[in-house]
């Protein structure tokens, strides 16, 4: 599996995962439990979305469209 997206938080990671799965791309959210150990600090880089090697290019194309939409802002 390859990380295709670094989310701002776990919620956004799950949104991206759901979008990918709605398009037939299996995805996994990494770092789900790591944010709980951080406490109240605003640390980024723990939540990521991973997909199978064979689906990386399709996933990145969908994520690019997501990024351009401005939904994540």
Q: Is the dihedral of CA 48, 54, 56, 58 positive or negative?
A: negative
Q: What is the CATH number of the domain that holds 20?
A: 3.30.70.1530
Residue 70 CA to residue 73 CA, distance in Å, equals: 6
The structural domain count of the chain equals 1
Domain that holds residue 42: 2-69
Tens digit of pLDDT per residue, the chain (73 long)? Answer: 999 999 988 889 999 999 999 999 999 999 866 655 555 555 566 789 999 999 999 999 999 998 898 766 5
Q: Is the dihedral of CA 40, 44, 49, 53 positive or negative?
A: negative
pTM: 0.80
CA distances from 40 to 19, 35, 37, 56 (A): 28, 9, 9, 33
């Amino acid at each position: 599996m390859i990380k295709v997206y670094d989310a701002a938080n776990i919620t956004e990671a799950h949104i991206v995962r759901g979008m990918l799965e709605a398009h037939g791309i299996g995805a996994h959210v990494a770092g789900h439990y790591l944010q709980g150990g951080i406490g109240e600090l605003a640390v980024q880089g723990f939540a990521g979305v991973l997909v199978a090697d064979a689906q990386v290019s399709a996933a990145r194309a969908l994520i690019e469209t997501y990024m351009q939409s401005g939904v994540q802002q």
